Amino acid sequence: MTVLDQSQLEVHYPIHGKPFNARKPTLIGTWNVRTLNQCGKLAQLLREFDSYRLDILGICEMRWTSSGQIINDGKTIIYSGHDKEHIGGAGNIMSKIAASALIAWKPVSDRIITARLQTKQIKVTTIQAYAPTEDAEDTIKDNFYNQLQTTLDETPTHDLILLMGDFNAKINPNRTGFEYGSAENISDNGERLISLCASNSLSIGNTYFKHKQIHKKTWRSPNGETFNEIDYICISKRCRSSLLDVWTRRGADIGSDHYLLSGKCKLRLKRQPKRATRPRSLNVEKLKDGNTAVQFQLKLTNRFETLADILTLLEEWANFKDTTIGCTEEVNGRRRGSYKERLT
């Protein structure tokens, strides 16, 4: 593999701040590049990465063998491929800022790779996947989705999950929650993807945003006459509002029949209710003084004498508690700060 020998790009990368924060959007994407196993392809991909100011880009069909992590032009690239053959492959490209948040990654197979990031407010797990084609045998599809389900099961429960990639799936809009699917009919892969997301509380981001068809289709046929939406960005349902948009970038070019699919994330967290202010404790230490104790006893006796007839035990207890606390506060006041009795 010659990826380390490819020429470096002199492109300034704009800093966006920490990834997946509540102030500035994080730009993510997924792209089936068809191959990076050609001279100059990686440099071309990094140029597009910079051009669209991406923070994290998931890649399908890298066609690199084995797995590993490299740094090129300041970007961190992790990849998972076939042991020997230059087929399939999945990976991620991360900016300097995104890579600084990387705490773990796992090359699951030549179709799946995961990365876990520690952001300021939450941990994020990205899963990049490259699904079998619609014409693949059911056993191959079953093996892929079983492996993907296992990967989701192993993801920590509280992580925000981003599932991205080429799923070779077509989803139509004839169902609740998928109003903006662009296919005329749902495919077998589409049914499998919907079932997976429903079982794991994931939302398929593409289907939530209304765009022109030209900005939804992610694949074009060799003759340029047929277009389909088969690449997707999915997010944890509880964080669905953090995904602001999903659309294709038709200007990005790497010689692939897929368009770059991009998404914009901005973390939206619920405000925690303010805790009720706890009152200062009563200053019972003053009762050690004889005059204060007599004054307190007299006030307590007078207060109880003025109480009305008690109807129930609960009312009697409530009156006793309120009266005792009220008299103590009037006579002794409350302490400021913590009190520690000195040993004598």
Q: pLDDT tens digit string along 214-271? A: 999 999 999 999 999 999 999 999 999 999 999 999 999 999 999 999 999 999 876 6
Cut 0.85: pTM above it: no
Domain ranges of the chain: 3-265, 284-332
183 or 217: which leads in pLDDT: 217
**How much is the pLDDT for 5?**
35
User: Is residue 176 over pLDDT 70?
Assistant: no
For residue 15, name the pLDDT band (cuts at 50, 70, 90).
Answer: very low
Q: Which CATH class is domain 3-265?
A: alpha beta
Question: What's 37's DSSP letter?
Answer: -
* 274-289 pLDDT, tens digit each: 666 666 776 777 777 7
Mean pLDDT of 177-181: 66
268 or 133: which leads in pLDDT: 133
Mean pLDDT of 35-40: 97
For residue 273, name the pLDDT band (cuts at 50, 70, 90).
Answer: low
Query: Among residues 77, 65, 73, 5, which one has the least CA distance to residue 40?
Result: 5
The residues near 208 (Cβ < 8 Å, ≥ 6 apart) are: 177, 179, 180, 240, 243, 246
Mean pLDDT of 47-61: 98
Secondary structure (3-state) at 43: helix
